[in-house]
Structure 1
């Protein structure tokens, strides 16, 4: 019952030149069908996500960047307008257009059973004509109020217990839907939500039944071994189905996720399914690592699983994003040989001739940061200072201030040279005076946090609010911050 469309608005060259900076508006649209028993009425839930990089932003009265889309949705039967909504969809406000998030919108419409002509219009009001799209589709709504019925299955990004009811609230939880049914390897699980109606009328109130959630191959229609979850439930007027299935080991491919309700005798009550795609490079990487030979290597000699896991965890400061993902997945397994091969290859890629020497030198630094920056809560390599030390080496100088009036405790690390970069600084501070955990606040090194209000935040000890637009601070008695930053000791 769920449909997914990827809109790519292709305009003529003339109109495209009039669009937002020559960009082509892109968005995702989907819908699901549910039944509200208190009103004896079905309803449709629509989801719209617009790629922010394809819309035009303007500076609003708060001097922030914002975009505005005009959305029009209508449902007609035989030319007669049944439901209609036209509204402005505004993005969040941003100080910098490089930091924008995609624009998300969700709407609900009560609709009686029947077939509807659905029309959707999206207009970038800032870009004006030329950045507009119109889409139409026939949608059928069909629920029997006396039969056992299942809603559409919703793929879910996140689920939270409801504090204040809002548009995302269903049966005591806030459901943040996932519009795109594509799961790259950074996703380790699938969460789904569905509702089943009238089980109490047909099975009897509180009668037990089984909810079986499974994954099967879309090409062969065969169940994927190891991906079946059974849960016992009791029949109610509306049963909420929340299921979570780990997919960290699921290979790349096309699949269906199926929710099936079964009686005690294993006969089917009702079922529904939803299509999704999986891309899992981690599985491919695992096959790659299995072919690595570690006989008579330093990695092959590490026989304690807990020690090996800890060694791999401490590699995080040097690891790429994909290496961190692989390490996290491999650590969860009990395959010590696979971990040994991963550990060996990690260092072999960095020093083919003497990987063990490279590791032992790094281990000495890990021991240093664990001793200097570790605590009862964090290992030294898990702290910001430990990470910077392990990634870039020991700083050439450290300027430290713990008792400067009006300032939170801070340290400024200075490096003469990092790779091809020279004269780089890292500013750490303790936002919470109750602990001694220094957090990286600001740096002029590429790829590191760069906060234009870093001085204001350090001098927030006696002025926690401050001016949100201000990036400079008034001079304070005993002020050393500028001097330490500009003239490292």
Structure 2
């Protein structure tokens, strides 16, 4: 936890002139170390390490070191009565990690070190094996600016195994002249929300920041970021004392590939905290950098900061998503019942990046209210997919969306009326779905084998199976 070192930037924001940063167009990007990326440990316990620096007290820098450990490699034992609170139950399990950190100066001397035990409770072993179950932790260090060696060890105490991560650590100097604007490191967040819990290890100046430690985002997702700005000039005589703020996304060559509207924001004081969520839109999978620019309108001083991140392709994203998110991605990409034959043929011929672009445009074209942030067409498609999976699953190896009922429901929506016909022994049950919104159309589903699996045997909808003599086959 860090004490407040900057004022929250909660003042009013206004639209800014398009040319607020025009004179910066030819200026090169801020330098970024080749080590500015998450590091992966070595050994039997795999974990990620990333960091971000902020202005500290007495000329020092607060260097936050973030850890991410996947639960499926931790050893868990029954918790029972062994929990510290005495509230443990036999159906709960706990893992125990010993975390050790050392910071070494250029002479190899330890300038900071610490060790602590972290308990990892889970309800059951199945949830612990979920590849998306993770443990986050943070180490907050107070260091003089400079270059250090960082060493972090994570030991699984119950499994007697460990992993180690060693990397260089550049600690920036944020003690600048009163008229020199500076931006802290940019921290990417998996979750960023307002909080007043000063005992929370993830607390940052009024925000609870759970880092996105891999700096990875799925296609079409939003990037959440946290940073601090220092060194604003403050003049009480100026009523409209404010600064400009802009965001851009650059590719690996430094070219701007996505820009956001420039904002004009009132200064809360000499410094401020900024939290934002930026829609990545149609950026294809690949490596990028988030460029933040700030300009003090009073002094014309400008500061820039750059931090690397990556957008995952569909295949990569599938490995990073939760089970719920994977399901939503499958619904999003399953267009076989709603696309034309020509669209399906084109979609199948594309490579992965081409498929991603195609899907973005496909659903954009089917948004009935493009002026709003919600795509009702896509939401309705997902609702139909979910309903079909839950209601029409016919057998273990066949999803509800793969049945005749599921296909019709996804393509045409819920019927206006359903006629249920359960016949006597020896005859086959059938259902008739009626659609009346654009004329009257019927779909007849028959349980041919008496096993609860209904097949489409007749429809009056153009392009569907047509068999007016279906009743003779009962």
- 1:154 to partner: Cα distance: 0.5
Partner Cα distance (1:158, 1:36) in 2:
23
Structure 2 vs 1, CA of residues 418 and 196 (structure 1 numbering), >3 Å: closer, same or farther? farther
Structure 2: where are the runs of 5+ without partners?
Answer: 1-31, 83-87, 315-332, 334-352, 370-374, 390-399, 419-444, 455-474
SS in 1 for 2:309: strand
Moved more, 113-122 or 86-95: 113-122
Contact 1:70/1:89 (8 A) holds in 2 = yes
2:202 to 129, 150, 168: 168
Partner Cα distance (1:260, 1:75) in 2:
31
Structure 2 vs 1, CA of residues 66 and 366 (structure 1 numbering), >3 Å: closer, same or farther? farther
In the TM superposition, 1:32-431 aligns within 5 A as 32-36=52-56, 39-60=58-79, 61=82, 62=88, 63=90, 64-77=92-105, 78-99=107-128, 101-129=133-161, 131-146=162-177, 147-165=180-198, 166-185=200-219, 188-200=221-233, 207-219=241-253, 221-225=254-258, 227-235=259-267, 236-264=269-297, 269-281=302-314, 284-285=354-355, 287-288=357-358, 312=381, 314-317=383-386, 359=408, 363=412, 365-367=414-416
In the TM superposition, 1:467-486 aligns within 5 A as none
Q: TM-score, normalized by length of structure 2?
A: 0.57
Contact 2:144/2:171 (8 A) holds in 1 = no
Q: Cα RMSD over matched residues?
A: 4.2
SS in 1 for 2:250: strand
The one of the two structures with greater contact order (alpha-carbon pairs below 8 A, sep at least 6) is 2
2:45 to 25, 43, 46: 25
SS in 2 for 1:3: coil
Contact 2:182/2:230 (8 A) holds in 1 = yes
Structure 2 vs 1, CA of residues 264 and 359 (structure 1 numbering), >3 Å: closer, same or farther? same
Structure 2 vs 1, CA of residues 259 and 309 (structure 1 numbering), >3 Å: closer, same or farther? closer
Which residue of 2 is the match for residue 386 of structure 1?
Answer: none
Which residue of 1 is the match for residue 330 of structure 2?
Answer: none
SS in 1 for 2:38: strand
Contact 1:156/1:192 (8 A) holds in 2 = yes
> What per-residue deviation string (whole Å, max 9, x for no partner) do you get for residues 443-482 of structure 1?
xxxxxxxxxxxxxxxxxxxxxxxxxxxxxxxxxxxxxxxx
Q: TM-score, normalized by length of structure 1?
A: 0.56
Partner Cα distance (1:192, 1:307) in 2:
28
- 1:318 to partner: Cα distance: 5.6
Partner Cα distance (2:297, 2:415) in 1:
56
Partner Cα distance (2:154, 2:214) in 1:
19
Contact 2:40/2:165 (8 A) holds in 1 = no
Contact 1:252/1:277 (8 A) holds in 2 = yes
| Matched residues, number | 321
SS in 1 for 2:122: coil
> What per-residue deviation string (whole Å, max 9, x for no partner) do you get for residues 344-391 of structure 1?
xxx9x969xxx999537975745469xxxxxxxxxxxxxxxxxxxxxx
SS in 2 for 1:200: coil
